[in-house]
Structure 1
Amino acid sequence: MPQFRAAVRGLVSYRPEKPAISPEGRSYSLAANETPFGPLPKVAQAIQEQIQGINRYPDNGGRALIAELADRFGLEPDGIVLGCGSVGVTQQLINAVAEPGDEILYAWPSFEAYPLLTRLAGAVPVAVPLRENVHDLATMAKHFTDRTRLVFVCNPNNPTGTAVGRAELEEFLGRVPPGCLVVLDEAYHEYVRNKEVPDGLSLLPGRPHLVVLRTFSKAYGLAGLRIGYAAGHPEVIGTLRKAYLPFSASSVAQAAAIAALRSGDEVRRRTDIITAERTRLTAALNAQGRRVCASEANFLWLPLGGHATDFGAHCATAGVSVRAVAGVGVRVTLGLPADNDAFLAAAASFPS
């Protein structure tokens, strides 16, 4: 047998939830934080048009999409880099910044890819527990060392949906030591409705140590096409481009992302539906006597502790797939009203 790196041998592969099917054959997919809506009309058209050119390699620099992003968000094109979903850009960041033995800091529980990609790079993961299901930035700042190279702040946080406000973020950014890069992961930014939670792009000016990470997988509905991007100081982004896997942002994905950006009104309408469902389900679960974290994302978090696995299995018997984190809690993606009603019925029948 070939000899693999120790860092790889010790990893556990990412495992998505298996689809649940009820005895009646019903299935409700509420585990993966996907949008329940089909392709945006402009996206479907762009994909169809782009199919004719898939025998050619995509633009490795993603110039048209980067120009669209720069124009829409008031950024410099040199300050934007594309990737294979935001998780692809996350790997680019780690590969560009961390040497073996360097430390990467993040809250926990948070996005599952952080520890996986950190260990894959041979870096040292430093996980700081959430405080009341929210990033404890003050405690995270106490974990800075001369080996800290990268800090991830997922805002809103996956899996809890909780978010930190501008004042707390700005204070934290002011405490970052030299040589350390902060990544504000805003995969769920389009679902934020609390005005105290900042648009991370507004924090970039004057902060070369900050990068904002976003994706088209969630609100824009391009999860199957895998495209995301990072924005930051041009020198930082220029270095990130060196860690980009050539041609990993496909031509179809780039064209679809441009069309999605040009569908702003429809994206807002769809996210408004989801955030209204977020409010409805939170109230319904509270009425059931269940604790639910205040979410700014397209999912809810139930901190069920030792009951999480049993709750997830109970939902599966009703055909409802949710994401159970053993011993911690359950994340429930917000779907269409009928999907959410199926979940509420399953939750109501779970023994308290």
Structure 2
Amino acid sequence: MDTVLGIDLPTWWFLLIGALITGYGILDGFDLGAGAIHLFFRKEDSRRIALNAIGPVWDGNEVWLVIGAGSLFAAFPLVYGTILSVFYLPFILFLAAIIFRAISIEFRSKETMTWWRQLWDVSFCISSIVISLLLGLILGNLIQGIPINAKHEFVGRLRDFFNPYALLIAVTVLSLFMMHGAMYLIMKTEDRIFARLTIIANNTSKFFILCFIATSLTTLIYVPHMTAIFKQYPELFILPITAVLIVLNIRRSIEKRQYGRGFISSSITTALLLILFAMGLYPNLVLSSIDPKGHISIYEAASSDGSLRTMLLFAAVGMPLVATYTLFIFWTFRGKVKLEEHSY
């Protein structure tokens, strides 16, 4: 098997897709969080300011998801096909929620009627919550395994997706995004909405910490394969320890009103949690809950070495361009949000 810098090609693509998903989680995470807390703002100007805080960046943030899905299809087509067939209904709901979130942002201010704007405010909030919960639901099922047989065929039922562990992960993801979004909005706002957001950030951070503790304990007790790597390589315990410290630093930053540091900490928390998820799965991408022969590893699912090597060259050029574009947009629209004639 071909290698690059001593690492085999399937592992490179495992890392690359992980980086793309992490980028999406951090970037679209605060968009979704801002949407989930949108109805906590009661004033019209506050809601407009919140929308304008994410307005220049929300659609660009979704690019990371599109590239991640495309990379999964190109590098691991078996996994792409299996996941889509297994999570067919959740993905349909996910796409519907993405569509409604987009049109809610764009349509809201096209008319001045109160009922019109309230309709799209509710749509924006609900769609953001649904997307967050579905992402967590899919993640939770992938962590504990899904009922697929040795032929990688789904043999479960729809209600199997809504198991307690997956629902716990779903709520945890929602709480993380709400906290993440609140701190992003704090950095972009001032005056009355700023004061309101400090309260929201305080409450959502407490909610997330409770979910984080519950999820960590549940995973340790009921999903032992996610911690197997730490028994094999004890030195890797530094990662979960770091995650705990970073989570505590979020609370410390909020109490000290250092919201920029709190936002950085919540971004690092998102990245670390996804890294721990990837470490628990590797070298698999899909786990079967009923038959070990149903596991799909990166080596079984990978495209040919020639394809992986060629695509890796394109990724080496494309990913820095996407990252540079993202940084440019954030730099261009830095600073506090002001309502203007062309605001949402």
Q: TM-score, normalised by structure 1?
A: 0.29
Question: Where is the strand percentage greater, Structure 1 or Structure 2?
Answer: 1
Indicate the structure with greater helix content. Answer: 2
